[in-house]
């Protein structure tokens, strides 16, 4: 049993927190991976548990495909940084097995499993399918383990067959991210391809078609909703916002699509003007979101928003080669470390655990899967990007 991340944060002095934050940024700059202690603690024989009470897994709500795809992505990122990392190996193996177990006999996928290992839904959400395409698309080309690549390709093939039914923007964005990584990982993925092997021809055609379809829909939504100083895909900002411009940017990298690149940078600038206009990231709060023409919500702030913002800035840095975007990614990431509206650390670097949200008067005491994986992903993605730069 690990020590409580919550207790560790509570016992720190302000000077301790500053020192820990600086040490963590130094670790990232050196290309080192995050601690996976808490993440591994959230796994059992079935997969990654969705929720926690403080830092203790809470089994009553079981497991979901969403979180296990996130965990697989984290494992891929960390193994790129440290191929021999035993925690990443075990987390990735368990998460990949869960992803495979979710496939139904008709090729569609479940999302929700109860504490006894029984699926509780008929078919999963669009989000879970999109996340599966993303994780398996990255795994199909970038997994260091050849068996993981083969198994990821099989999952990608099945998931793409169901992807024509996707209509929601965020699942389409995840699809773009996965397909871009599968087609051209050297240009469009968070990490490079593990080998020079290419996708089977039929699978590459399917991935390219899904990528082009997703880009077309996102661009159409941007055209339909953007007007004047409102340059966005929807009439409001809610959750996972930065995934939408990121998808356009990585899709542009994969296909050399100048229209997608310009649109992605335009949407990026709009989102940044609202949530990161200077030296601090303030994500849209989930208590009211932000409807055009109305006041934006500040709280509750979710770690997933910070992760998406980091990835968006890294995509812009890859596309343009401009150092300003790396700096902005580090600023967004620093939300985890206390550069936020409440000036409070959200993570324990020693365990990799992350609190579930920043509320107006407190930090949410729980450290569930989504929040922890959001931090781990952002840390590992930043480290991978900085390691891949010429010195």
Mean pLDDT of 270-297: 96
What is the distance, to the nearest Å, from the Cα of residue 343 to the centroid of all Cα atoms in its chain? Answer: 24
Residue listed under structure tokens 């009470």: 53
Residue 145 φ/ψ, nearest 5 degrees: -85, 120
Kindly report, residue by residue over 253-268, the tens digit of the pLDDT.
999 999 999 999 999 9
Residues 210 and 176: their CA atoms lie apart, in Å, by 7
Q: 3-state SS of the chain: helix, strand, coil percent to 5?
A: 55, 10, 35
Contact between 218 and 248 under an 8 Å Cβ cutoff? The reply is: yes
* Whole-number pLDDT of residue 27: 84
Contact between 217 and 210 under an 8 Å Cβ cutoff? The reply is: no
- Work out the percent of the chain whose per-residue pLDDT is above 90: 91
Residues 255 and 257: their CA atoms lie apart, in Å, by 5
pLDDT of 18 > 90? The answer is: no
The domain of 33 spans: 5-387
Residues 164 and 341: their CA atoms lie apart, in Å, by 41
Peptide bond just before 300 cis, omega within 30 deg? yes
Q: How confident is the model at residue 3 (pLDDT cuts 50, 70, 90)?
A: very low
* Whole-number pLDDT of residue 14: 53
Q: Is 230 helix (H, G, I), strand (E, B) or coil?
A: strand
* Whole-number pLDDT of residue 16: 63
Dihedral angle over CA of 44, 46, 51, 52, nearest 10 = -10
Q: Other CB atoms closer than 10 Å to residue 293's CB: what's the count? A: 8
CATH of residue 15's domain is 1.50.10.10
pTM of the entire structure? 0.94
Kindly report, residue by residue over 63-107, the tens digit of the pLDDT.
999 999 999 999 999 999 999 999 999 999 999 999 999 999 999
* Whole-number pLDDT of residue 15: 56
Give the total number of structural domains in the chain.
1
* Whole-number pLDDT of residue 2: 40
Kindly report, residue by residue over 332-371, the tens digit of the pLDDT.
999 999 999 999 999 999 999 999 999 999 999 999 999 9
């Amino acid at each position: 049993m690990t020590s409580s991340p919550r207790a560790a944060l509570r016992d720190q002095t302000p000077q301790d927190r500053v020192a820990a934050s600086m040490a963590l940024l130094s670790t990232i700059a050196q290309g080192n991976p995050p601690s996976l202690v808490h993440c591994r603690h959230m796994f059992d024989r079935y997969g990654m548990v969705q929720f926690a009470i403080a830092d203790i897994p809470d089994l009553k709500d079981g497991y979901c495909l969403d979180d296990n795809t996130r965990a697989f992505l984290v494992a891929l990122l960390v193994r790129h940084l440290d191929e021999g990392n035993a925690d990443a190996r075990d987390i990735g193996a368990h998460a990949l097995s869960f992803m495979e177990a979710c496939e139904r006999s008709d090729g569609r996928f479940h999302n929700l499993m109860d504490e006894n290992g029984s699926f509780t839904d008929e078919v999963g959400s669009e989000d879970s399918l999109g996340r599966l395409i993303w994780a398996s698309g990255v795994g199909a080309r970038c997994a260091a383990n050849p068996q993981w690549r083969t198994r990821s390709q099989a999952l990608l093939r099945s998931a793409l067959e169901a992807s024509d039914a996707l209509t929601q923007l965020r699942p389409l964005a995840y699809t773009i991210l996965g397909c871009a990584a599968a087609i051209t990982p050297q240009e469009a993925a968070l990490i490079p391809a593990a080998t020079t092997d290419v996708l089977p021809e039929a699978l590459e055609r399917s991935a390219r078609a899904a990528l082009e379809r997703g880009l077309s829909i996102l661009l159409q939504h941007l055209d339909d909703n953007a007007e004047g100083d409102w340059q966005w895909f929807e009439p409001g900002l809610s959750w996972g916002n930065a995934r939408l411009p990121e998808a356009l940017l990585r899709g542009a990298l994969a296909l050399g699509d100048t229209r997608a690149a310009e649109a992605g940078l335009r949407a990026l600038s709009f989102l940044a003007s609202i949530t990161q206009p200077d030296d601090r990231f303030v994500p849209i709060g989930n208590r009211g979101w932000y409807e055009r023409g109305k006041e934006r919500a500040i709280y509750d702030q979710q770690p997933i928003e910070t992760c998406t913002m980091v990835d968006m800035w890294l995509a812009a840095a890859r596309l343009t080669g401009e150092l300003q975007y790396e700096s902005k990614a580090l600023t967004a990431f620093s939300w985890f470390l206390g550069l936020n509206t409440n000036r409070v650390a959200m993570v324990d670097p020693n365990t990799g655990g992350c609190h579930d949200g920043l509320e107006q008067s407190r930090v949410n005491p729980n450290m569930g899967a989504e929040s922890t994986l959001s931090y781990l992903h952002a840390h590992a993605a930043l480290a991978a990007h900085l390691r891949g730069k010429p010195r």
